[in-house]
Amino acid sequence: MSILIDENTQLLVQGITGREGLFHTSQMLAYGTRVVAGVTPGKGGEWVLDGKVPVFDTVQIAVEATGANCSVSFVPARFAADAMLEASAASVELIVCITEGIPVQDMMRVRRALDLQGTRLVGPNCPGLLSPGASKVGIIPGHIAKRGKIGIVSRSGTLTYEVLYSLTASGMGTSTCVGIGGDPVNGTSFVDVLSMFEEDPHTDKVVLIGEIGGTDEEKAAAFISDQMTKPVVGFIAGRTAPPGKRMGHAGAIVEGGTGLASEKIRVLQSAGVRIADHPEQIPELLQ
């Protein structure tokens, strides 16, 4: 089984007629995801991908027509905030935002509105979700993972793929992989996902992939120490990053002595997390 998405998830794709939206919609369909609708203002009434997916002008109309309960957004950064707000206003339960480069002020506004609405957001600037054998929402390659009982939560897209591939090559499977994104303001935190994995009877162990910047890993360590009963293995990227430089993600910046990889590793180890020196070591630590 899985958390957040499964074979019953009915997906709506915002920005479906754009290059990225169309390509990844075809990949999600091929994986078996139930893509029931797409939204592009002004293109309502069209069909894409050989007539497999109908396109609507608004999320509200798409939800009313198809019963979609999850949205994935490939909308460009300057329109992404409004797209998320539109999906939330249409009572979409789960929004996954792949878009990168969204201004922090826009995300502060979105996060406040979605919290009031009670909408779950994963992202932005994330690879999305993968429930092997059941559903794929986003851009995580489905063929590198197989179904199993290891949950993965990560701030890094590329490292997520590395770890998934390493687990599969070692004969291990995944319950759900959650890419929460590396922006300073996002919708779902490490603690949120760790809590879901702790409650999920089909997840036995958890992999946490963090990076420099912010304090999310420190908060995760406190949660693991106080509330988690399942073993956690971790990896922290950016050990050699120079202070004051942003490394990849908008949230991956060390300043004022906070956000250091060494400090994150220390607190996670103090919470009982086994820390890998490199991603390929994670399967060994899980065994």
Catalytic residue among 24, 202, 249, 278: 249
Q: Which residues pair with 48 in a beta bridge?
A: 53
Of 207, 178, 203, 182, which Cα lies nearest the Cα of 192? 178
| C-alpha span between 251 and 225 (Å, rounded) | 24
DSSP codes, 85-142:
HHHHHTT-SEEEE------HHHHHHHHHHHHHHT-EEE-SSS-EEEETTTEEEES--G
Say how many C-beta atoms besides its own lie within 10 A of residue 228's C-beta.
Answer: 18
> Is 249 marked active-site?
yes
Which residue has tokens 């890094």?
Answer: 156
Give catalytic residues, as residue numbers: 249
